[in-house]
Structure 1
Amino acid sequence: MSAEAEVLDELHRLRARVPLLTGALAASIDGLVLAQDTPGVEAEGVAALTAASLGVSLRMAEVTGRGEFRELLVRGERGYVATYAAGGSAVLTLLAGERVNVGRLHLEGRRSGARIGELVDGALERVDPRETARSPRPATERT
């Protein structure tokens, strides 16, 4: 199974584990879709916005001395957008309804982010280990 297929499989399993999760997207830190399960949502636009918010989040954590990026949560009147570090070269963005259990969302999002990070970083290292060494590296939560 390819890394892309394994990441998509992880997104499907994540959506099955978290009630009220309406979408899941893995993207590179520069905003390219790696895999997505986001019915009714333009994945490319979400990936691009994720990259933009990641840049601000990385800088905010750095300027305030809070360490490396781990996660970002946005709450709107109709639900949540949560972004988690996924290794050194990817992020996981989740879309959830307003009644989602946020604790469960974080628990499962962190676990899936770590798994996706392993898959994506491992695939990149097999292609060109020097390329991943030059990438900015948001931290992943170890579970």
Structure 2
Amino acid sequence: MTEIPPPDSLTGILASLRERVMGVSESVLSTVDGLLVVADTDTVHPESVAALAAATLGVGRRMAETAGVGALREVVARCGSGHVIVVAVGDRALLTVKGDDGLDLAAFQRESPATVEQLTKALASDVAH
């Protein structure tokens, strides 16, 4: 029997996003410098995703600064059979989401701010303890 993580734990927050948004299949939470914090994955190598998310954020931030369009919120890669989305979680963390070709991007856009807020609070409480 698979144990369901509590909804306020980092893993529980990632699992909740997968349950609320059709097409979200895996997710990785990492630091902005590419270190793995926690993962909800089956097929991807989470440490590699964490490192690549940091590089993606760096390039995305540079592009946003150069274009003068404000602070970077997320980077979306639409691929042949799905999506990869990297979302800033405050100044110190990144959420990387893998979605299949049927990913509901509108639902992701609606749900991701609450997920980012939950992750930010959970990370802050971990630092405080």
Instruction: Tell me which interval the TM-score lies in, with the shorter structure as reference length.
Output: 0.7 to 0.9
In the TM superposition, structure 1's runs of 4+ consecutive aligned residues that sit over 2 Å from their partners are: 121-124
Q: Where in structure 2 are the equivalents of 1:4-83 lying within 5 Å?
A: 6-83=9-86
Aligned counterparts of 1:123 and 1:68: Cα–Cα separation in 2: 26
Aligned counterparts of 1:96 and 1:37: Cα–Cα separation in 2: 12
Contact kept in structure 2, 1:74 and 1:80, CA below 8 Å: yes
1:113 to 113, 116, 119: 116
Aligned counterparts of 1:36 and 1:103: Cα–Cα separation in 2: 23
For structure 1, the residue ranges without an aligned partner over 5 or more in a row are: 128-143
Q: Which residue in 1 is equivalent to 2:3?
A: none
Aligned counterparts of 1:98 and 1:66: Cα–Cα separation in 2: 28
AA of the residue aligned to 1:90: A
Percent of aligned positions with the same letter in both sequences?
31
Aligned counterparts of 2:36 and 2:14: Cα–Cα separation in 1: 13
Cα offset for 1:59?
1.0
**TM-score, structure 2 as length reference:** 0.87
The root-mean-square deviation of aligned C-alpha atoms, in Å, is 1.5
Aligned counterparts of 1:21 and 1:123: Cα–Cα separation in 2: 26
Q: How many residues align?
A: 122
Q: Which residue in 1 is equivalent to 2:99?
A: 96
**TM-score, structure 1 as length reference:** 0.79
AA of the residue aligned to 2:31: S
